[in-house]
Structure 1
Amino acid sequence: MLAQEVIRRKRDGHALTPDEITAFVQGLTDGSWSEGQAAALAMAVFLRGMAPTETVELTRAMTHSGRVMDWSQAHLPGPVLDKHSTGGVGDKVSLMLGPMVAACGGFVPMISGRGLGHTGGTLDKFDSIPGYQTAPDLDRLQHTLQHAGCAIIGQTADLAPADRRLYAIRDVTATVESIPLITASILSKKLAAGLQGLVMDVKVGNGAFADHVPMAQALARSIVEVAAGAGLPARAWITDMNQVLGDTVGNALEMHEALAFLQGTRREPRLLAVTRQLCAEMLHLGALVESVDAGLQRADDSLSSGRALEHFARMVASLGGPADFCDRPAHYLRKAPVQLEVRAPRDGFVASVDTRAIGLALIGLGGGRRKASDSIDASVGMTGMVPVGQAVHRGDCLALVHAATDDAARACAADLLQHIRIGDAAPTPSPLLVERIGG
């Protein structure tokens, strides 16, 4: 089947047949489609869209372009579940959520990614732990799941390889923002991971990929419907990303916050609300509880009992990290040499935050990537981020910058002051849990 004929049909607005979609994915996998041809079809899909049936076929084909995990031989005594977020700033939910679900009887092989654009990456946070392996072999992965109940790792080379190639092409051809292609990309990896249930966290707001609710709704519905069409039960929550989630930004700093959350010494209210809601949905989807309300109680119990922390510690040790990491995180996580307070310029209320700009400020400090080959300084970032709506007085600390140099700290502080707006009146709060889709 000629690649140019498949491209022409989609360019002209026709629905692709299953055979044409299979040919495209095979061409991505074996290299018989050139970069230009793959980019042309991606642009045609971006402009013309895909019917749900096409997206299901694309998802299935990309799922089966490599290894599909089968956990039946592992004899796991519970459902295999996962959660995926569309990305945000300060979003460290996965760090606590996987161990919480594991503590309640689920098994979570969480295939995570690295930072993309202004959004942080879960794998980058785990890279801050010395020895932690984000790319274990299958035997270690299976052992970790059996021992800890969760394993937060990266996409292996043989897992949905067609998606890896297509995503790299989309990233440099302005075709990332295609809902069918986003849907197929997310779900192909999740289906290849052998899941029995998926909960989506679709972020919306000025720090999210979807900056308005209708776009987030369209993406959430697409993922839930296509997942069902491909045989994977799924549901989604649209959640607010108009400010940092939690009170830290930066890889090692977010790891510290996640540990404080699991230990019960500090739980920022918005971060707690999102994490426990997603945990409850996963437990309900996996039939581990009879209702979402019961799931919320189980989520709380996993934290108050210390079981979630125990599962996190087991996961870290099983994947090569220090056995005493949870007891001595400051010994293992790098600390930036410079700290600088960002002080409020006037009395008032934190009226709004340009969350995307906060993510870009982290990149400016060296805590994110401008290009894929960049290394990351895990120690830099911000702590003590003041939430939207809080009253402040002139001179109060809005955030503490952690930087490698004095110049970098001062530049970041000046940048943050441009993107944290102080107003005369408290703003109307945005809903955190915006809408539930599916289920």
Structure 2
Amino acid sequence: MKQVLVKADAGRAMGNVFAAARGRLPGAGPVLQIRARAFEVYERTGLPHRRMEDWKYTDLRALISEVLPLAPRPDAEALVRAKVSVKQVAADQAVKLVLVDGIFAPELSDLGGLGNEVVVRSLREVLENSATGAMAGLVLSTTSDSAISLNAAMATDGLVITVADGHAVERPIQIVHVATGLSVSTFTRCYLQLGKGAHADIVESFVPAERASGYQANDAIIALVGDEASLSYIRVAAAASDAVNISSAIIAVGARAKLDLFSMTCSGSISRYQGFITLAGEGTKLSANGVNLIRDKLHADTTIVVDHAMPHCTSGEKFRAVVDDCGRSVFQGRIIVRPAARKTDATLTTRALLLSDQAEVDNKPELEILADDVTCRHGATSGALDDTLVFYLRARGLSEKDAQMLLIKAFLGESIEEITSENLRDFVTAQAEHWLQAGR
């Protein structure tokens, strides 16, 4: 009985948040109907909890209990603080598109550096423009996942990016999410469409501004990668120490296309990154990799579902976690091979490095194979630093700390080195080294 009461109270509280925010949410008519249906999907279950298999290790109902009120529009002072944070995480040569407290900030963005073959619009513009209103159902598409449904219902803004057929975007596009508020929630959604034969590098960064704390961020990106196109998508989440970050990616990849995916979580209180990737065309290649860098009491969950829907596709996943203090890292990787997906070649490995006796790791690799004539492999390991290797390095003049740092960098490099762009690989490496130095 107690569990039912908790669910009901939480549902009423979230209903009040949704009702209070409706006047601020962009779109009318059909858009409002889409939002209402998405909220109904969320209401059926409420916040994800441990009785949901995909959320069994990250019970949001217990961890956060409720969704905070929607953040107000950023004022001039918030934009000044956000500008400082954007500079701190700027990727080299990247075109920056900035969202502050869930609202697109063109004054902090670089809209002139992409050329005519790339069209960038704010989500608010698309949803409020009757000429583009037909896109609303696609941009605000949802699933049975309650976190994604809540995002569709509450999204205040985001970006809609389209790349023309055959066009290779010369500079990386960096989407920077900056949180400036206290004890508020933000909901953003981005939509990316790559035409046939197109190429783009996308970096998504999450960062707090000075004095931001206690906030909750719920972000989603929908990406369609056309036939023979290639996309490199990198996500780096560095939230405030007491913040919550829930990010979802739904990606469909066409025939003979290539997707390189990388995610890194390195701060915050509670983090969940979930990626749902469908290989929807023949001959597609996927490289999906990630790193959790955990210390203090951070709970970081990375869940990746790869759906091989067509034959002759290849996927490789390498996930690494470094956990210190009382941190907890969760990795769930599922590979689904559909009956038509003959000649699939899929590999999934997850390794965790525990730096303290209180550190905790949950690894859950899964294979769901419904076809013949496939090659699928998975493996999971966890353990501490090898004392023999530490002794070997110390015998050659390194201090114990430097020896440990060198071994941790090599461990992380197994995943980071899979990033194909040298500039973006250096960017991620610098972020990882900053985390390592902060713990010395």
- Fold match (TM-score > 0.5): no
TM-score class, shorter: under 0.3
Higher helix share: 1
Which protein, 1 or 2, shows the higher relative CO under an 8 Å CA cutoff with sep ≥ 6? 1
TM-score normalized by the length of structure 2: 0.23
